[in-house]
Structure 1
Amino acid sequence: MAYVVTENCIKCKYTDCVDVCPVDCFREGPNFLVIDPDECIDCTLCVAECPVEAIYAEDDVPETQLDFIALNAELSKEWQPIIEKKEPLPEADDWASINEKRDHLQR
């Protein structure tokens, strides 16, 4: 069971999670991160580090966000690994509490 990045990450892209990942399974897009399910070792370290609570165990992904399981798998094959923490997006704090951000995901 892999971990999954969900909608809360869109337009925030805090990278605290990347810093603690022992296997470098995060991939970076323009305004979102994903986890490569083939690389994730289910260590749970990233969950507590995410300031917007965007990371879930695959079995715990909210029903309204189940499509993010496939999205993480798909985009992790297209995007490059991110292995070091970076500054969040400039508007991250403004977007952190906004729901319904799917339309803002940039591929």
Structure 2
Amino acid sequence: MAGKVYRIRGGCVLCETCRIVCPVGAVSIDVDGVHIDPHACIRCGKCLANCPGEAIEAAEEDGPAKEMKGNEE
């Protein structure tokens, strides 16, 4: 089963907009760059919509439904 995940791609300037707009704190930034926690992310799209560098992409990724947010039993 596939589910939507958000990934960081080239173009990220570490402006922290994604971290600031995330309503659940799923985005973190450290010395290695930006990280989106797929278990905390609620797939609202705010990071994607607000990224000034268009450095976030939404992708379909295969995985067990129980691990995808919103599909818990």
Equivalent residues in 2 for 1:39-50 (5 A)?
39-50=40-51
Secondary structure at 1:8's aligned position in 2?
Answer: coil
TM superposition shift of 1:52: 0.6
- Consecutive unaligned residues of structure 2, counting only runs of 5 or more, are 61-73
CA distance in 1, matches of 2:30, 2:22: 17
For 2:18, the equivalent position in structure 1 comes to 17
1:2 and 2:11 aligned: no
Measured on the aligned residues, the alpha-carbon RMSD in Å equals 1.4
Written as runs of structure 1 = structure 2, the 5 A alignment for 1:1-107 is 1-9=4-12, 12-30=13-31, 32-59=33-60
- Provide structure 1 residue ranges, at least 5 long, that are not aligned to the other structure: 60-107
C-alpha deviation, 1:2, in angstroms: 2.0
The alignment's TM-score, normalised by the length of structure 2, stands at 0.67
Aligned length: 57
More strand by share: 2
Task: Report the 3-state secondary structure (helix = DSSP H, G, I; strand = E; otherwise coil) of the residue aligned with 1:13.
Answer: coil
Kindly indicate which of the two structures has a greater share of residues assigned to helix.
1
User: C-alpha displacement at 1:21, in angstroms?
Assistant: 0.6
- Distance, in Å, in 1 between the alignment partners of 2:57 and 2:17 is 15
TM-score by length of 1: 0.48
Q: Deviation at 1:56?
A: 1.0
Sequence identity (%): 37
